[in-house]
Amino acid sequence: MTISFITVSDWSSSLTYMVRKNMRRTLGLLVILSSGISSSAAFSQSIDASQADRDPADWLETEVGIPVTDPLTKEKCGACHTADSKEDLSRISWTRATPEGWAQTLKRMVKLNGLSITPDEARSIVRYLSTSHGLAPDEAKPVMYFAEHRILDETIIPNDTLHQTCASCHAFAQVMSSRRSYREWALLQNMHKGLYPTAQHAYDTLVDTRPAHAGEGSDPKKQVPQSLVALEWLKKNAQLHTPEWAAWSPSIQIPALSGKWFVKANFVGHGPLIGEMTVTPTAPGNATFTTETTLRLLDGHQAFSRKGTGLVYAGYSWRGTSRSGAQTTSPDDMAAPMRETMWFAPDQTKGTGRWYWGEYHEFGLDVMLTRETGTPILALVSPAALQSSAQQIQIHLYGDALPTSFSLQDIDMGGGVTVRKIVSATPHEIVLTVDVAANATPGARNVAMRGTVLPQGLTIYSHIDYLKVTPQTSLAHLGGIKYGKGYQQFSAEGWSNGPDGKSGTSDDFLIKPVPATWSLAEFSTVAYDDDVQFVGAINPVTGLFTPNVEGPNTKRRFMRNNYGEVWVVGTAKTEKDANGTPLVGRSYLVTTVPAYKRWDQPEVSQ
């Protein structure tokens, strides 16, 4: 498990940062190297130590730059970033980044260097740079969670040195959301030293670069600054020129997204949704679009309609907004205005992403779009999990252009599942009655219908072994007086121990969400700990945690704020263990102060 983070928060807020560090310390989380090696093993090659004594500004740029051809970008940026005969602008031509990265850079130019620019000009420059100096789809996809403002545990931090030099203050995805020349990475380190005092200490800390297997009697320790180790890693893994960019950049064009798209979404705590989005270009040759979307929850069939706009960067990267026009009645109401971040496959047949809202973007729909072409789309099975020995169970297949006339033999749900009856069939929904054999193999299996396959669309299980409350670690923010609240939605999941019969091993598999009742329990850290009384309250039915108000509390010892650490406890309503006791799961929640300063890039949405 790696250390969790929140992408929407600016950790320059020292109080928030310190609470977050305390959360890490309390959990005892250690960064597990995704490569399975230590930072020293990852860096066994030699370093040109002479570079450590030279200012990167004096280095000669030896890599080929990417010309800047946009007149407005040259006009606004060229006053400080000098151009050469190849139309390369200093610094800019040796950097590629996401829309959020370029927007952040432009803001820094305004705040620190006095750039005079209008909002429309800024949006235009961000569009140009994010497309012509952006990332290829395959480069951006692994870090889309950063642009989607997801709250999660990062797993891409390669080693402890990169954690210390980069990911101790912000998400490592922010690093991997850009590509730079070796000199540019060094200059970026210089900028961090100038702006953030703690960076100097992290960069100057020495690290042993001998291979991990080196033991007693091996070569003497090769101590070099962590900054050089990080630079060498970035030189190899985040270089300016990559095969992915070389293959993608010539083919960048305005994507042909117009038409209808089948929408499958999931809202944690509320369940799956299905619907349709109609995408219309605003004008020929323009990368902006309007959208009309209808969605409905499978549970209760509550319907929603939304209208919005979207902008596509680099031929695949969607940023948009949408509104329902209805008044919201609760913080988690899907009628709220939403921001949209989506990644479209290069063949423009599918899109994935997140539509989100909330003061901290904590609420969101996980969305998958599939282009409607008249070819059958099998998108969702409900219920998605069936217990062995179940008889005469009615299930629904959802999609688009589904056949309305077919035989029982046309549907295959794997061994042990027998389709007994076709109840009804429309192009969007097929209702079937099925039986599950007592010896049906547990686990996820494909659902197929006349050659159309939904991978891992149905799970068979014998019983639920344990309950897991998700997210396993989370962060909420106090608010309600001057600052907005940061909520947290919890969900209870039923899991199987898998073939080995042991809980918490790699063969465990998720079965389904489980209805639960919710409560908070004390997470004791000090003798006078009483956090559960002050941090806030959780809805016992829905699992939505609402934090308390910010500010000192006179009723609390030492007049502390209402921050604190608690367990979130989910108790299954019907699922029980072998002794007949309801299954219980819990997760760790920190409620902290508001993020007093946060970065945001509204200009990348339109």
For residue range 319-366, list pLDDT tens digits in order. Answer: 999 999 999 999 999 999 999 999 999 999 999 999 999 999 999 999
- Asked whether the bond before 471 is cis by omega within 30 degrees of 0, the reply is yes
Quick one: which of 78, 68, 89, 80 has its CA closest to 112?
80
135 touches 97 (CB < 8 A): yes
What rounded mean pLDDT belongs to the chain?
A: 89
Q: Give me 153's structure tokens.
A: 């545990």
The residue assigned the tokens 């509550």 is 302
Model confidence at 206, in pLDDT bands (50, 70, 90)?
very high
Look at residue 29 in the predicted model and tell me its pLDDT: 29
CA distance 83 to 67: 9
Q: What angle do CA 482, 112, 178 make, to 5 degrees?
A: 90
- End-to-end Cα separation, the chain, in angstroms: 36
Can you point out the beta strands (E) in 509-557?
A: 509-513, 516-522, 536-538, 544-547
Taking the mean position of all CA atoms in its chain, how far away is CA 210?
A: 35
For residue range 474-517, list pLDDT tens digits in order. Answer: 999 999 999 999 999 999 999 999 999 999 999 999 999 999 99
Domains in the chain and their CATH numbers? 4-250 (no CATH), 259-371 (2.40.128.120), 389-461 (2.60.40.10), 466-592 (2.60.40.10)
pTM for the model stands at: 0.89
For residue range 448-464, list pLDDT tens digits in order. Answer: 999 999 999 999 999 99
Q: What percent of the chain has pLDDT over 70?
A: 88
Nearest 5°: phi and psi at 181?
-70, 165
| DSSP-based three-state secondary structure for 281 | strand
Give one DSSP letter per residue of 111-162, joined into a string. HHH-----HHHHHHHHHHHHHHTS--HHHHGGGHHHHTT-EEE-----SHHH
Q: Write the DSSP symbol of residue 64.
A: P
| DSSP-based three-state secondary structure for 40 | coil
Can you point out the beta strands (E) in 40-124?
A: 95-97
Quick one: which of 26, 103, 94, 106 has its CA closest to 65?
94
CA distance 313 to 130: 6
Q: How many helices (H) and strands (E) does the chain have?
A: 12, 32
Model confidence at 299, in pLDDT bands (50, 70, 90)?
confident
| DSSP-based three-state secondary structure for 109 | helix
The residue assigned the tokens 């080196």 is 214
Report in angstroms the alpha-carbon separations of 546 from 327, 525, 570, 589. Answer: 20, 22, 16, 12
| DSSP-based three-state secondary structure for 246 | helix
Walk across the sheet containing 443-449 and list its strands.
385-387, 452-461, 443-449, 411-412
For residue range 18-71, list pLDDT tens digits in order. Answer: 333 334 333 332 222 233 333 333 443 444 545 556 789 889 999 999 999 999
Report in angstroms the alpha-carbon separations of 602 from 123, 140, 401. Answer: 10, 19, 37
Lowest average pLDDT, out of 27-31, 254-258, 293-297, 514-518, goes to 27-31
485 touches 359 (CB < 8 A): yes
Is the sign of the CA dihedral 187, 11, 155, 43 positive or negative?
positive
Average pLDDT, stretch 516-525?
95
| DSSP-based three-state secondary structure for 258 | coil
Taking the mean position of all CA atoms in its chain, how far away is CA 444?
A: 24
Q: Give me 167's structure tokens.
A: 């990911």
